[in-house]
Amino acid sequence: MGLLHFTPGDTRVKICGLRTEADVDAAVLAGADAVGFVFYPPSPRAVTPKTVAQLIKRLPAGVDAVALLVNPTQAQVDEIRSTAPITLWQFHGDESAAECAQFAAGQPWIKAARIGPKFAFDEFSLQYQAADAFLLDALVEGYGGGGIPFDWQGIPQAWLSVNGPRVVLSGGLNAHNVGEAIARLHPCAVDISSGVEISKGVKDPALITQFIQAVRAADAKLSSP
Ligand SMILES: O=C(O)c1ccccc1NCC(=O)[C@H](O)[C@H](O)COP(=O)(O)O
């Protein structure tokens, strides 16, 4: 129920970059806790507020509708908010904490971090301490949706022990590596886009189902004695 209402052994799942009714239906049927809509025109996954307003009508109560933005203008955010009932905001660009809070206007928000070899974890979480969650993603050309994992071992254990309950792990996840990610990092949630696609922007219902089943299996393994 929702992306960020974390309880141990119940890793939440966000399926990102949905564009069609079939995409949304597949994610809901598979048990996604959140669905992400990319409002970044250069992306092949980009959608319009009007389209998202129709897609959100297919979501049952409790499934978060996440707006994904990259350095938006206030006008862009206002148009999205006035058109589609977004429940969670994800900022994937160079937005300041103050800008994120202003854009979110009291709703929960996630700040995405693009993790390179020298990423400053402590400085990041201090700067964005007001965020409801941190989405840790790979540093790829462009902004996201690169389908590449980052070095999970590079996350300081001390930082993870404090911030883990609000970490959304992202970047190159799939049904084959998500179990290891959950066992090692115990994130609040996991996020996926490329790993459930047959081509850029084209989601595959079977891959979505397989991914969520892999998450549930990993949680069950953690919970078993
Ligand atoms: O998905 C995109 O096209 C995208 C474009 C611009 C900024 C962010 C974008 N995606 C952000 C996400 O939350 C993705 O789910 C995340 O980067 C993971 O993607 P993937 O590695 O393909 O699973």
DSSP 52-100: HHHHHTTPPTT-EEEEEESS--HHHHHHHHHHS---EEEE-SS--HHHH
Residue 16 is among the residues annotated as catalytic for this protein: yes
pTM over 0.95: yes
Kindly state if the Cβ of 191 falls inside 6 Å of ligand 1: yes
CATH of 12-223, one of 3.40.50.300, 2.40.50.1020, 3.20.20.70, 3.30.460.10: 3.20.20.70
Instruction: Ligand 1 pocket test: pick from 43, 68, 94 the residue with the most ligand atoms within 8 Å of its Cβ.
Output: 68
Q: Output the tens digit of pLDDT for each of the chain's 225 residues.
A: 789 977 888 999 999 999 999 999 999 999 999 999 999 999 999 999 999 999 999 999 999 999 999 999 999 999 999 999 999 999 999 999 999 999 999 999 999 999 999 999 999 999 999 999 999 999 998 888 899 999 999 999 999 999 999 999 999 999 999 999 999 999 999 999 999 999 999 999 999 999 999 999 999 998 887
Per DSSP, the chain holds a count of helices (H) and strands (E) of 8, 10
Q: Enumerate the domain spans of the chain.
A: 12-223
Residue range 114-128, pLDDT digits in tens: 999 999 999 999 999
* Catalytic choice (33, 132, 137, 191): 137
As a whole number of angstroms, the distance between CA 79 and CA 179 comes to 38
pLDDT digits (tens, 9 = 90+) for 196-223: 999 999 999 999 999 999 999 999 998 8
Cα–Cα distance, 219 to 223 (Å, whole number): 6
170, 219, 225, 175: which is closest to 10 by C-alpha?
A: 219
Whether ligand 1 lies within 6 angstroms of the CB of 38 is answered as yes
Does ligand 1 lie within 6 Å of residue 72's CB atom? no
First to last CA, the chain: 25
137 catalytically annotated: yes
Is the ipTM here above 0.90?
A: yes
Q: Look up tokens 């970047």; give the residue.
A: 171
